[in-house]
Structure formats: structure tokens, C-alpha cells
Structure 1
Amino acid sequence: MSSPFAIQLMNGCLASDIEQENQNTFQALQKAGAIEEVNGLWKLGSLYRAGRLYMGKDGRGYVEAEFKEQRDLLVEPDFLGDARHGDTVVVKRIIARRGRPSGKVLMVIDKAHLFTIAYTHRDESGNFMILDIRTNEPTYAKMEGMDLKAFKLGTVLKVDIDTDNVMEIFGTLDDPKVDEKISLALYEREDAFPEACVTEAIEVESEVTRSEHPDRVDLTHLDFCTIDPVTAKDFDDAIYFDLKNYTLYVAIADVSHYVPYFTHIDKEAKKRGFTTYFPHKSFPMLPRELSENICSLKPRVDRLAFVSKIELDRNSLKPLNEEFFEAIIHSKHRFNYDQVDEIIATDGRNAEGTVERLLTWLLPLQKITLRLRNARLKEGFDFRSEEIKLSIDAEHLLVNTQIETGTPSHSLIEECMLLANQAAAKRFAGDEEDQLGIFRIHEPPQLSKLEELLVQLASVGLYVEEYEDSPSLIRAIQKEAEKMGLSAEVDAMLIKSLRQASYAAHNVGHFGLGYRYYSHFTSPIRRYSDLILHRMIKAQLQDDEQEMEYLLRNIESLCARVSELERKEVKSEWDFRDRKFARWAATKVGEVFGAEVVEIEESGDAKAVLHADIQGIVVHLRADQVMLFDRVKVRISDVSIPQAFIQCEFVEKLSRDKMELA
């Protein structure tokens, strides 16, 4: 996927649309004559192409085609300039009579990496070296007035990729607190906010005065409540159900009211894209002064909200009427998931006061959401994916893990949010192919990918004879897996064979959920995509053509941006988790554990999940003695803290009965 800036150059944009960090490059492209003004928009000339550079093992580069009618451009080593693998480049076509289309790198417009994370090391022969933490390959670093050999071995360095200068020293690998810095830096996630953002956030009002918002719908009389994890500090969403009129109100924090375009807070939120969650700490998209205060739908205070109001048919539960408006709400109670699960289990027998009043609509709504879920799963899919929650102590060491599964309270909130997200997407999902919006899409899997999975599953005796398409094949595989007691294992493999959900300007539907239209509307505190959607709906409601034109002109690059930032956010969270698992495993080298083989790789390696007090740890072993889903005993033989990698040796196979005792 090309960078957001490259998409702007290919689609055409105004000079004022260009982000601050790309202004100099934009001007250099103008000067070089690579972009031209067409119908008021700046666009790449026909001889030029922008795209991501991929390096082959032979040292030649390739810039991928963006459209079917194009072919990848070959870039010979002499024409690469300073470009590296993964950079987004502008290439000038070389017109040749024969041979494959080729080009010359004119300019790097987005670097894949601005810095390297490295660490000091001595090999077995005592040779000093600096290793790249991503690849474990030797790299280079220098520090003015300092000999890096003087530092303690395992010192972690942030190194400028162009100058090789050390930008920052993170600490040493023997200190568990360094993991946080490594995982954030590897995926360009930020912790502290620039001072200008904090200053802006402090200046925002700390309470809502109703008289200052006469145009908003006053819903403060309605019994809204929030349902969140026990540890939540920011409350994005509140719900209320009007039982008499069968109307659901989903009130979402009105972040777009407090975060105008082009403010320091907006620019930083756009740069971060998402809140990053580590087990011990979150790294928010918005300054906490906003996310945990005025934007948070706290109980018993007035708050500004952007509301999705959905009237349901009593029989079919299909939406009859959907509207959006700006409102003021006053949440009456803050529930956590455990409390609501307890209420559902006991049918609210012990409730009193405000809670008892809220239950007059909350308990009937829970039964309605159960019906909604059952109807949804006729079209969509239910994959059993367990979430593992890590507990970290004050020393940043892993203490324990806990498996979190969806409960009735989670499902209640999820179904309400799904209704609001669909309603928001429908506003932009016309019949025309060129209809633009910001959609959360999940493309159907390629049948060939699922058939590859079938071949693997045949090795454990799971067969599917008849199927018509991808959905019917997935359901058939799940049915067979359930008979064999392998539902969780097979679902994990199915999820891997599916495409990733992403954000797109053109709607293609959401395969996993079984929806024709879907977007993200309900979490603008922690997702920039939702903030964009709020702005678009408001521009639509206010018939603000100028605003809508600006948003739609740049929507493809915004979708590319948030999709890429989402991947980085998720990888950062996984990387941190794996670092904690590796530190735990390093204290267990030589010990034997039960494990289950979950993947056989083409490289001849296998992955297995350990059965230990700490759950969810994936280890690597040679595949020549094991098969898929084998229950085995393994010995932890080697652990790399820098690469967060755990190697095991095969000990013996176990029967299923023995496995339960292991």
C-alpha cells in the first residue's frame, strides 16, 4: 500500500491539503517538474509514479503498480540513489524500446524507517559489535565524544538511519523497563505529548454549561449509563433504550467539538491514529486532559455527545429509522462488565435505587441484543479468539496471565455499537461505485487460501467434501472442528487465513460480520478514523459542501494513513507482550513443559503454545518430529531477549489424557 502522501500525489490535491512534514518534498517535486496543476489540483505527471520500493535479493528495486493497466517498474541498482527497502519513492519512467518497464528514483518522499533500534554486543570470540534489534544483523552507530564500547553490554540505542548518530539511549536489556521504550519505538508509537498539545488541552473547558449550547438536543432527562472494563478511565459511549418506542440511543463522546481541524491536538491525534494499550499503561491518542475528563462520558455530569438514535422493528429488530444529532447527556450510572454480568445472572434481584430504575430497560435490552447476535451470526462468523490479559509488577516483570472471554455484558454493548456503526456507514453507502466515505472493510477470503488450509487440516483427519464458496467452506470446517474438539485451534488458523480488516474510501462490505455497510463511529477518543467519520456526518447534517469536499478529496490518503497506523499499534502491543514472555522464559531455560503444536511452517520449523501457569506463550521448535495439533513435551533451550524469541527442543509426544496432567 502506498503512503498517504503518495496517494494525494496520484489522485490530485490542493497545496493546502499537504501535511506540514511533506511540504518541503512537495515544493521540491514542483521544482523538479514532477507534478503539474490540472483543474486546480496538483498531480504527478504522466512520466512519474509514486509507490513503495521493494528490494530484490539481486540488489534491484521494484516499485509496485497501483492500477491493473500498469506493470511494476524495475529500478536498477545504479538508479536507486539513497532509497532503501520499504521507502515510498517518486520514480521517473525510463522510456526504452524493449525490455520491462523501468525507472529511476527521483526522490524519497516517505522513509520506511527514520531510525534503527540497536544494542551493544560481544560475540563468542569477544568481538564488539552493534546489532539491529529487528534483524540481529550488524549495523553501525557513533556518538560524538563517546566510545560506545565503554557502555555496558546490552545498551539499547536509538540511531539515526541517515547519519548513524545515536539519538537516544534507552537503557540496557537486563532492565525489564526498557521493553516499553523498545516496543513503542520499533513501531513509532509515542508516549509524552508535545507541550503545545498539553497547553491547548488545559485551555479547553472543564465542565459543560447547558446554556452555552442552545442548539443541542437536551437528553439529560434520559437514563443513560456506561458499561466498561473496571480499569477504564475514558468512557467513549453511553447507551439508553426507550422500551416504549423500541428506540436505542448510542451517545458517543463529541470529540470533534473539542478537537477542531489543524490544532496541535488534531495534528498529534492524526500522527498517532490510535491509543496504544500495554498491560500496565495506555498511550492515548488524545491528551489525558481531554480523553479522561471533558470528552469522557462520566456519570452524574453533563457531557456533549454525538448521538445515533435507532428505532427498531419489534419483530424483526431491523432498523426502521436512524438519525444522528448533537446532544447533551447526563449519564446516571457507571457500570463495569462484571457488575452487569452479575445483574444478568441474577435477573437484577438485588438492585435498588438508580440501578433498579436503569434495569427496567437494560435487562429487556440485553434479551434484544441476544436476538440481534443470533441473527447476525446467520450471515457473519463467530471465531473463538481468546484474549490473554497480562499482569505486570512494579519492576515491569510478568506476574501472571488471565484468559478473557466475551461475556453477556460484552455482547450487550457490542451489539449496540454494531448498530450505530452500521447506521453511520449507511449514510455514505450509495449505489454509485464512486461513492466515497470512510468504511471499515473486510474483504472475503480467497477460496484458494482456505483450500490450502484444508490440505493442512487433512493431516489431522479433518475433511470437508462439499462446499460452494468461502462462507460455506468456513462453516463446514468449523462444524468438523467442533466434532473433533478442535474449535479453538482451527478458529485460530481460520483467522490467519482471512484478510485483515482495514479502512477504505470505497465500500466493499465486512465479510467477518456479514454486513453490507460498516464503519467505525463509536470510539473517537481512541481512534482517529471515528473522529473523521464524526466530521463527515456533521458536514453532511450542516450541508457544509466546502468541508465535505475537503474531507472527500483527502479521504483515500486518510484511510491509508489510519490503516497503516492501526497495524503499527497492534504490532507494538504484540511486541511488548512477546518481550514479557521472553523474559519469563529466560528464567525457565532447561525446564520441560507440555505444549500443543499450532503451526507447521514451510521453513521446517513449528510453533507451539506452552501449557504453563503463564498462558499464551508461543515457542519455536523443529518440525521434523511433530505434526499439527500434536500434544508434546518440550524443553526451553534458548531465549533471545532482544528478538523476544523462545526456542525449544522436542522431548516426547503425549496422549491427550497425559496432556491434561502435564
Structure 2
Amino acid sequence: MPISPADILKILEKGARRPLTAREILGHLELPRGERQEAVRLLDELAREGVLVSLKGGRFSLPRKVNLVTGPLSVHPEGYGFVSPGDTREGDVFIPGRFLGEAMHGDRVVARVEPGRLKGKSEGRIIRVLERAHQTVVGRFESGDRFGYVVPADPRLHRDIFIPPASTGEARPGQVVVVRLDSFPGKNRNPEGTVVEVLGDAGDPAVEILTIVHKFSLPHTFPSEVEGELPGVPSQVSPSDYSGREDLRDLVTVTIDGESARDFDDAVAVRRETGGRIRLWVSIADVGHYVPEGSAIDREALERGTSVYFPGRCIPMLPEKLSNGICSLNPGVERLAMTAEIVFDEEGNRLESRFYPSLIRSDARLTYTEVRDMVVAEEARVIEAYSGIYPHLLVMKDLAWRLMEMRRRRGSLDFDLPAAEVVLDLRGRLEDIIRSERNLAHRMVEEFMLAANEAVATFLFGRGVPLLYRIHEAPDLEKMQAFQEFAAHFNYGMVLGREGVASRQLQKLLHEAEGRPEERMLNQVLLRSMKQARYDPDNVGHFGLAAELYCHFTSPIRRYPDLVVHRVLRAVLQQGGMKPGRRAQLQRSLPGTGEVTSQRERRAMEAEREIVDLKKCQHMATRVGEVFDGHISGVTPFGCFVELDDVFVEGLLHVSSLGDDFYHYEEELHRLIGEHRRRVFQIGGAVRVQVARVDLERRQIDFSLEEEGDPLRRRKKMKNRPKKAVKRV
């Protein structure tokens, strides 16, 4: 058996009393002569990755045994940072600004842990950069006396980048540019660079998008290798593709999506059967038929990991010829699909399921609004327009309620917190911020997709094949103990065992809080106590859904893990099942695929949040001085975060602006309390605030407290109130 990283780590963990040379490590391993060179190569690779540290004299050690930590560096805009070791036994290490050295935010570094200035506190000093996170930086170009300089768009890159006169290109002051880093920062010097691209003027909506694209290193153009494969992608389904597929064209099948959707990767059909049973067909675009594994299109899709959705623009995972063309389940045309056919009883329990390649033809492209108008509002005009489909929607409504009730019984959590939706005008500029609607039509589609995902995961798990699961680990016991204590102050109880808490306990607590003043507060605190869902071949279940087995199967146009699941399913369904070679290949590749796609998902979420935060700040910059009602959404030692009730914007009410008392932070109760007046600012509490300041570059909105009884400010609020609201259609 070839040597593995675990073999080396075991020696240095348990068998070494000091750092060892490569020769000494090889002696412990007792390797054949032919494998020694591979072991040395592996040692060097582990050192480059920071799993080991290479010391003077050619010796190797585990970082923590020599007071070192390795990991990504996160820099605060104020200039200090933290290193997050991969070893969960170690906490984040604080790095004072004077000890950052040549490291920049995002770099993978080695830091030496040393006694800090405060008694009992340790801090770190960066001694080596293992891997640079940035070769280019996006920011605003300005001209100085002798040098130009670029102010990075990311405030965590807290040093300006000097641009020599010969390296400014055609950039003009105030424009947004992309800079190639020619030298990195030192203790007493800023980084230097060369302008390689001028994006345009700051404030241009298109430039704002490009700025965030570059800031998060999002691939936004397809390489020539991908373009070279596109001529081989057909524009319509060929009859030769029908072979080996079940023909579902006679089923009444529909897609249900938002008004602005352009690609449709899921279609549904239902049929009521005897004994109160309902049969559901969930047909998903067969992307794998058109995207061979290992092709340039496939490699680029993995690199992107997911489509990224900005207001008014999408950066797709797949080229438009696929995502909006042959793979999109457009109405009235034949499309290839992978179908999950599932039968449910009157209680919403899955009785049987079957999976197969299919040929479908969608009968209609419905919007959430149209479905809501039919199954909720019962509008005769819309029902008449879809008279042939309406009876099927009523069956879907019945099934959705069954599935929702089934998930409720088993303890599935549903955080139905209001979300903001940015409305843009034709020029891409902000028009309004409104509450994002989530009606029964949304819930219907969600329930059907959840059911299909769970059924596929159960089927493949039963076949014992490697799979990329969508997992959501149970929250940490320590965080649940803190939440238990917090909830107890509102007279809510929950039982914690040694293994933590069951999702059913949390669901019961949230149900009891429905409609009460503390409902929003409890939802928010609990949500922040949860871990983030991710992709992993090691199944631990999905805590939030209370599902033992769950994967992503329903969106291969916009999520790479779904494409992986499709390929695994196809391999199992083929004659003879999955081949041993394919099984071995998946066992090797899936851990890395899960890590990459989870990271790409987080990157996309951060980028999407960034543009929404920018639009919110731009909106509030025009409303400085206005007064709003809001509620406290978070509490920290330095103040309260307040979410405005009408415009879905969050800002900071800094503790320094509370001049009526000295306020102390009580972490376990998520509140600030006045030392003398005992005034309390707690999550969920109602407050009235005035917009004091907006920092567009840092995406920060600062509030000041608006006290009752000030008629001048009340008149100003009335005077500045918008004259009309934008009606959503």
C-alpha cells in the first residue's frame, strides 16, 4: 500500500520527541527503496500546504508542537487580523497589525504564537506566507504627487497599492481598475502594482458588478476551450436521443419559476390515484447527457461551482447555449431529463420511488404569481387561461400540504424570515427595496424538490455507491446551551442531552413562539447558532430538514453537485450497475469535489450579499437624516445592529451614540443594559433611529437613536416620506 499523509502525521504526532529530518522519518516508515522518493515528495507537499512546517536543518514538525499555527489570514479593516488553524483543537490566533509582515487578507500563512501584552492572552506573528490569495486587486485609482495609487475595493486589503507613473496605463482618477501586484507589502512599505484593466467609472451599475466579480475572483467569461466545444452542442433534441428513455410527453407537465427566470431545470407532474395516494414526477434537465465528464465545459463548471445571481444579472455556471437552450425545459419542445417518480400516501409518506432517463415536453411555463392567483386567490381570469392545467395544480397543492405536514411531524425546521429584494430600473439603478414574497406556490415547488432530493439520496445510499451528499451537521452543544439559556428568559424550555438537541425540540419551541413579540428574536438567535450546510461524501444527515439522507439532484444547470449526483445515478441505472473502476474513481474525487463546491457556494453567497449591501447603502445615502422604525437584529459589545421595518436595511447603532448612560454587554442575553437607568437594548426590541452616516466603500450604515417627543424630527420624517411605493407585479 502506498504511503499516505496519515502515515507521516502519525509518526510526528506520536513517535517524535523533537523535529525530525526526512531521513529520520523515512527510517520510521521502513519503506522499500522505490517508495522513498515518493515519501520525500509527500513531505515537501505537506510543508507547502502548511500541514507540516519545515524548520532549519531540514527538519519537519507538526506546527502546534513548535508553537506555530498555519491557516488562512483574515484581516480586519482596522489593520489587525486572525489566523484560523485547520486543527479544530486550536482557536483563532490574534495577529496585531505590527506583526502582519508581508501577509495580506486571505493569504495562507504560518504564524508563531507568543505571549500577548495582556496577561493570559496569546497573540501571533506572521513568519511565512505559504500561498498568496491575490495576484490582482480591484479598486479605485487616484493620482498622487509622484505616484498613483489604488484604494482596494475590499477594505480588508487595508493598504493602498502604489502605482509607478509608467504603470498607470490609461487610468484616470476616480476610475475603477484591476491591478497586478508586482510586489507585496513589507513592514514599512505598501504593495506596488501595474494597472492591467480599466473597468470604468465608479457609480456605473455595470462597473459595480464587475468590481465585485473581480473582488471575489468570479470567473465571468468562458475560456476559448469552452467556446470551442459549444458548436458540438445541439440546439434541439434529436430522435436518436429517444432510445433508452421513458416517454413522458403525454403527462401534463409544467415548470414553475419566478417572473425573471430564463433557465428552467425542473418540471413537475402529478396524478391522484386510488387509496388517497398521489404520484409525483419530478423531471430534471439531463445536463450530463450534453456535458461529458472531464470536458472543457465540465472543468469550467466545476471551477465556477454554481451560478451567481446579482440583481438584474446572472453569471451562469454553464454557457447560455446549454443553460438557456437545449438544457432548459422550455414549454412545447422535447427535452431530455432524469426523472424521479415517487408515490406518497395521505400522510405524505413516500411509499415507492423509481428513477430513469426520460423524454418530456413541458405544457406550460408558469410563474409563482400565476400559480398563487389560481390555488390561493382563485382568480377566475387566470384559472380560465390555464383551464387544462388548473385541476393538476389543485392536486399539487394537496400534495404540498401533505409533505409540509410530514416534515413538520419529523421535526424539520423552517426559518421563514423576511428577506429583501432589490428592484432596479431599466438603467440598472436602484428603484426600491421590498419584502421578498414567498407564497404557497414557492412552497409547492420547494416541497417537490426536497422530496426528489431525499428520494434520490435514499436510493443511491441503499446501493452502497459513493455519493456527494448535502449535509447539515447538528449545532454545537455549547451553542445550544447558550440558546437554551437565552430562550429560558422568555419562559421557553428545551431538553438537551449529551448528544445535543433534536431538531423536533427546536421546531416545537419556534412553533410556540409564533405570533409573539419574541418570535423574530428567537428565530434569529437560533439561526445564528446553526452550522452551514455543505457538500461531503460522508453522510451525517441534514439536521435542519430532519432528514437522514439528502443530496442535491434538482438543479444541475446552476449547481455542480447536482450534476455529480446525476452521473452517479446514471452509472447505477446502467445495465450491471456501477463498475468497480468508476466506484474507485468517485471515492478518490468526491472529497475534493465536495470541498471545492462548498467553497464556491460560500463565495457566491458572499458576492451576492455584497452587491445587495452596496445597493442598500446607495439607497440610504440619499436618506441621511431621515427617521425610521426598526428592531434590533444583533447585539455586540460595541453596539446594536438595527434592521429597519419598511426598507429591509440593517445598520449599526454604536454604543458611543447612546449618551444617556454607561452600557454593558451581557453576551448570554444578547443585550446591552444601562448601568444606572437599566435601559435595555436586546435582540428583537423595537427602536426608532435616524440615519446618521453612510460609508459606501465599507458598506456601513450608522444610526443614531431617535428619542420620542422631538416634534422637529417627526416633521422631517413626514416631509421626506416617499410619495409612492413601487407595486410589485
Asked if these proteins are the same fold (TM beyond 0.5), I'd say yes
**Quick check: 1:118–1:131 contact (8 Å CA) kept in 2?**
yes
Q: How many Å apart are 1:191 and its aligned residue?
A: 2.4
1:286 to 314, 318, 321: 318
**Quick check: 2:316–2:558 contact (8 Å CA) kept in 1?**
yes
Deviation by residue 1:480-520 (Cα, 9 ceiling, x = unmatched): 64353342343233212211111111111111111111111
Secondary structure of 2:323's counterpart equals helix
Q: How many Å apart are 1:639 and its aligned residue?
A: 1.6
2:571 to 533, 536, 539: 539
Q: How many Å apart are 1:256 and its aligned residue?
A: 0.6
Question: What amino acid sits opposite 2:151 in the alignment?
Answer: L
Asked if residue 181 in structure 1 is aligned to residue 210 in structure 2, the reply is yes
Asked if residue 157 in structure 1 is aligned to residue 164 in structure 2, the reply is no
Partner of 2:404: 373
| Distance change (3 Å), C-alpha of 1:172 and 1:30 | farther
Q: How many Å apart are 1:309 and its aligned residue?
A: 1.4
Partner of 2:625: 590
Deviation by residue 1:629-651 (Cα, 9 ceiling, x = unmatched): 33333232222221121122222
Quote the RMSD (CA, aligned, Å): 4.4
Partner of 1:298: 330
Structure 2 Cα separation of the partners of residues 371 and 531 of structure 1: 29
Question: What amino acid sits opposite 2:613 in the alignment?
Answer: D
| Distance change (3 Å), C-alpha of 1:221 and 1:559 | same
Deviation by residue 1:131-165 (Cα, 9 ceiling, x = unmatched): 333226223232662459x9554333322345433
Q: How many Å apart are 1:61 and its aligned residue?
A: 9.5
Q: Identity, % of aligned pairs? A: 28
Partner of 2:640: 606
Asked if residue 364 in structure 1 is aligned to residue 364 in structure 2, the reply is no
Residues 181-580 of structure 1: pairs in structure 2 closer than 5 A: 181-244=210-273, 246-312=278-344, 314-345=345-376, 355-378=386-409, 379-429=411-461, 436-453=466-483, 462-468=490-496, 470=501, 471=503, 474-475=506-507, 477-479=509-511, 481-482=513-514, 484-542=516-574, 543-580=578-615
| Distance change (3 Å), C-alpha of 1:639 and 1:455 | farther
Asked if residue 631 in structure 1 is aligned to residue 649 in structure 2, the reply is no
**Quick check: 1:53–1:86 contact (8 Å CA) kept in 2?**
no
Partner of 1:4: none
| Distance change (3 Å), C-alpha of 1:177 and 1:67 | closer
Structure 1 Cα separation of the partners of residues 466 and 543 of structure 2: 19
**Quick check: 1:594–1:631 contact (8 Å CA) kept in 2?**
yes
Secondary structure of 2:399's counterpart equals helix
Q: How many Å apart are 1:317 and its aligned residue?
A: 3.0
Partner of 1:16: none
Q: Tell which structure's C-alpha radius of gyration is larger.
A: 2
Partner of 1:5: none
Structure 2 Cα separation of the partners of residues 324 and 239 of structure 1: 14
| Distance change (3 Å), C-alpha of 1:400 and 1:426 | same
Asked if residue 141 in structure 1 is aligned to residue 172 in structure 2, the reply is no
Q: How many Å apart are 1:430 and its aligned residue?
A: 5.4
Partner of 1:97: none
1:621 to 653, 657, 668: 653
Q: How many Å apart are 1:261 and its aligned residue?
A: 1.5
**Quick check: 1:241–1:249 contact (8 Å CA) kept in 2?**
yes
Structure 2 Cα separation of the partners of residues 216 and 472 of structure 1: 41
Q: How many Å apart are 1:324 and its aligned residue?
A: 1.6
Secondary structure of 1:234's counterpart equals coil
Q: How many Å apart are 1:215 and its aligned residue?
A: 1.6
Q: How many Å apart are 1:59 and its aligned residue?
A: 10
Secondary structure of 1:391's counterpart equals strand
Question: What amino acid sits opposite 1:53 in the alignment?
Answer: G
| Distance change (3 Å), C-alpha of 1:133 and 1:31 | farther
Secondary structure of 2:249's counterpart equals coil
| Distance change (3 Å), C-alpha of 1:494 and 1:126 | farther
| Distance change (3 Å), C-alpha of 1:352 and 1:344 | closer
Deviates more, 1:176-185 or 1:280-289: 176-185
TM normalised by structure 1 equals: 0.81
Asked if residue 166 in structure 1 is aligned to residue 195 in structure 2, the reply is yes
**Quick check: 1:347–1:363 contact (8 Å CA) kept in 2?**
no
| Distance change (3 Å), C-alpha of 1:106 and 1:611 | closer
Deviates more, 1:402-411 or 1:269-278: 402-411
Deviation by residue 1:80-130 (Cα, 9 ceiling, x = unmatched): 998766445799xxxxxxxx9x9x99994x54333323324699x999854
Structure 1 Cα separation of the partners of residues 238 and 83 of structure 2: 58
| Distance change (3 Å), C-alpha of 1:11 and 1:363 | farther
Question: What amino acid sits opposite 2:644 in the alignment?
Answer: L
Deviation by residue 1:5-64 (Cα, 9 ceiling, x = unmatched): xxx97799xxxxxxxxxxxxxxxx989933289xxxxxx999688996245999999783
Question: What amino acid sits opposite 2:71 in the alignment?
Answer: L
Asked if residue 131 in structure 1 is aligned to residue 151 in structure 2, the reply is yes
Report 1 or 2 for greater relative contact order, CA contacts < 8 Å, sequence distance ≥ 6.
1
Deviation by residue 1:525-547 (Cα, 9 ceiling, x = unmatched): 00001011111111222223323
Q: How many Å apart are 1:554 and its aligned residue?
A: 0.9
**Quick check: 2:631–2:644 contact (8 Å CA) kept in 1?**
yes
Secondary structure of 1:418's counterpart equals helix
Structure 1 Cα separation of the partners of residues 470 and 141 of structure 2: 43
Deviation by residue 1:285-310 (Cα, 9 ceiling, x = unmatched): 10111100100011111000011111
Counting matched residue pairs gives 612
Structure 1 Cα separation of the partners of residues 128 and 616 of structure 2: 44
Question: What amino acid sits opposite 1:365 in the alignment?
Answer: M
Q: How many Å apart are 1:521 and its aligned residue?
A: 0.3
| Distance change (3 Å), C-alpha of 1:361 and 1:585 | closer
**Quick check: 2:347–2:402 contact (8 Å CA) kept in 1?**
no
Q: How many Å apart are 1:623 and its aligned residue?
A: 3.2
Secondary structure of 1:377's counterpart equals helix
| Consecutive unaligned residues in structure 2, runs of 5 or more | 9-35, 45-50, 54-59, 64-68, 112-121, 184-192, 659-679, 722-729
Secondary structure of 2:525's counterpart equals helix
**Quick check: 1:348–1:359 contact (8 Å CA) kept in 2?**
no
Structure 1 Cα separation of the partners of residues 570 and 101 of structure 2: 46
Deviates more, 1:163-172 or 1:642-651: 163-172
| Distance change (3 Å), C-alpha of 1:559 and 1:393 | same
Deviation by residue 1:256-302 (Cα, 9 ceiling, x = unmatched): 11111222211111111111111111111101111001000111110
Secondary structure of 2:220's counterpart equals coil
Partner of 1:15: none
TM normalised by structure 2 equals: 0.74
Deviates more, 1:524-533 or 1:351-360: 351-360
Partner of 2:701: 646
